[in-house]
Chain A
Amino acid sequence: MSTPMLEIRNLHVRVEDKTILKGVDLVVPKGEVHAIMGRNGSGKSTLSYAIAGRDGYEITDGDILLDGQSIVEMEADERASAGLFLAFQYPIEIPGVATMTFLKAAMNAQRKSRGEEEMKTPEFMKAVRAAAGDLSIETDMLKRALNVGFSGGEKKRAEVLQMALLAPKMCILDETDSGLDIDALKVVSQGVNHLRAPKRSMLVITHYQRLLNHIVPDRVHVFSDGRIVKSGGKELALELEAEGYSAFDEAAA
């Protein structure tokens, strides 16, 4: 059996003085898409921040392995360069920095950190145009400051565009469906599906089952009170939708 893309072992995470994650175990093999479902406040976003290495998310126990290598001692930018990507639930505005400029800075920072040469401008432009086309992103949007004044759909498309260009091994999508109408959801899902590949894995964090109609997962995990309480195939999402999260609370207790 090959090394899993992401392996989380007994992960405990504390934020300020509150323990949020209480022993998460998860294995995402290469090429698979897993979904994590759970109600608000169950610790789903904490899990994504802890994996990405955000300051203030203190790992008190356990380990996170990316492609077999522990990443818990790495800074957030080092994890990014190692191939980890987090699509934000609420993408952050960077005033005055054109989307194009940001993309180039991010790509070159990662290349530099991996000891690769900077990307030449024509090569970069070509890559951006191709990826933007797939997501129906207008050139005009690339010239605007990143996420500033973007609609909900534009913000999420900009996230997927970054994901496409940075070509990560492991993608975490945090509530990617929030703030999207059904048409935007389709475009974004298509963009994500387009990026599914044998050497790339994804962890889709969501509240609702509807996103999983568009991005069909290999496995579904139910999250409650800082732990995974049940795992199953894609049909588990439908079960959850029908019965509600409360049916799983007992399992957590």
Chain B
Amino acid sequence: MPAIKETVEHVEELEVEKYKYGFKSDIESEVAPKGLNEDIVRYISAKKDEPKWMLDWRLEAFRRWQTMTEPTWARVHYPKIDFQDLHYYAAPKSMSAPKSLDEVDPELLETYKKLGIPLKEQEILAGVEGARVAVDAVFDSVSVVTTFKEELAKAGVIFCPISEAIRDHPELVKKYLASVVPVSDNFYATMNSAVFTDGSFVYVPEGVRCPMELSTYFRINEPNTGQFERTLIIAEKGSYVSYLEGCTAPMRDENQLHAAVVELIAHDDAEIKYSTVQNWYPGDKNGKGGIYNFVTKRGDCRGKNSKISWTQVETGSAITWKYPSCILRGDGSRGEFYSIAVSNGYQQVDSGTKMIHLGKDTSSLIIAKGIAAGKSDNTYRGLVSAHAKASGARNFTQCDSLLIGDACGAHTVPYIESRNATAVFEHEATTSKISDDQLFYCQQRGLSDEEAVALIVNGFVREVLQNLPMEFMVESQKLIAISLEGSVG
């Protein structure tokens, strides 16, 4: 098969290092010394001006972390990480709490411009069909700009950096922090609890429909800095919120560690929609460098008829270890997981979800689409479980893999556990390749080979893309095409 052969050749000469967002901005940073110990935890807490209870909480987490070991069950391979050889805190220096975008460091704005998210244009840009997006821009570890705050405040919605919430809304933070992902949940979540630097906090009061999509762009900019994001979203009874998280990071030689924790809590009849587009540096053509992404994301459908839906488009990182999950505690609650995971070059993805049915008549839907090209490995790992009291639980899982070339791998690892006889779980899985016939057909109609692959892949992931907010949908289509550039000959 000549086309396949050429694909392989082309992949070999593929220059992943032409990574579009590989640049580094020269903003002076304040960096903590390397290593992780009690002093560093105290340093971070002091930098954040935190109350004592928070410091104690962090220290407790740190002590637990010292007793834990890294998980090794995922289908990913990498050299052992020296956790004492990383910086755990970095902040841009010119931090004098800007009142408006005009006061923001122009270099920083320039960086965002390269990323294609010009803050100055955000209000207009995001005005697609009347929607507005508030941006809580996180540059490395510290939130720099928060917009649209006033309008949100009018609706009673709190949207701020979590460090601010710790100071201004301690009662909410104390009540909900680690209530979904316990401090001792797993190695990386515990580490995050000790050293998290920033992230977003969202609180939507009872009956309020959040008037705009909330959005945060994260970026890792300081060499050797792990970013430890912590996000907490609470939707009170009958409320609704949609949150978008988009990421790109500059190019770097050393691997960077990222270990985020995201917790969502939905009370009775509330709905949270959480969308992610992740485009971190995947490493160069020899598999050198790139982000290590070890994330714990979990939503708790705490109330009756509540709903949490995760949508993710994962194209970046050298290693992805990520399982956004739903605990379906409230009767009649629903969890959804829509995922597109694209891997190229030497990327390794082990991602999926957990749907844990605890309440009666709970339902869940999983649509996972994996696309593997180059020499990458792409694993879907998913758990669906029904506990004894979860009568009438229902799940439908569809897991499709698309292979481009013959040097990549796609794997599906489903775990299904049911302790209730009335639970109905369905699982469908397919694996396919882009055929020479399809490529030739598209080319005969005038599409170049790259346009053909992008079109076929976008068709493959359509069901998932449709769940993204409009502005993310367009961005994601482009991103998927960019990620697969050079994957055919």
Contacts and interface: CB of A to CB of B under 8 A. Distances in A.
Interface stretch (B226-234, B249-257, B457-465): B457-465
Interface stretch (A37-45, A74-82, A187-195, A202-210): A74-82
Given A76-B440, A76-B443, A77-B446, A105 B451 contact: yes
Contact of A55 (B6, B438, B455): B6
Contacts of A95: 459-460
B477 to A, nearest CB: 11
B442 interface: yes
A93 B459 CA distance: 11
B446 A166 contact: yes
Contacts of B440: 52, 54-55, 76, 92
Interface residues of B, number: 27
Interface stretch (A106-114, A215-223, A232-240): A106-114
Interface in B406-460: 435-438, 440-449, 451, 455-456, 458-460
Which of A76, A81, A166 lies at the interface centre, i.e. has the most chain B CB atoms within 10 A of its CB? A76
A109 B444 CA distance: 11
Interface string A29-59: 0000000000000000000000011111000
A85 B435 CA distance: 20
A138 to B, nearest CB: 21
Given A55-B6, A55-B436, A92-B441, A105 B459 contact: no
A150 interface: no
Contact of B458 (A53, A55, A76, A96): A96
Contact of A80 (B444, B458, B459): B444
A88 interface: yes
A145 B460 CA distance: 11
Interface string A163-178: 0001000000000000
Contacts of A52: 440, 444
A62 interface: no
B459 A97 contact: yes
A14 to B, nearest CB: 12
B448 A77 contact: yes
Given A96-B461, A97-B459, A91 B441 contact: yes
B130 interface: no
A113 B446 contact: yes
B109 to A, nearest CB: 31
A99 to B, nearest CB: 11
Contact of A105 (B1, B6, B455): B455
A93 B451 CA distance: 17
Contact of B438 (A94, A101, A107, A113): A94
Contact of A94 (B443, B459, B463): B459
22 contacts: A53-B443, A54-B440, A55-B2, A55-B6, A77-B446, A80-B444, A88-B441, A92-B438, A94-B455, A94-B456, A96-B460, A96-B461, A96-B462, A97-B458, A97-B462, A101-B455, A102-B445, A102-B455, A105-B451, A106-B446, A109-B447, A110-B446
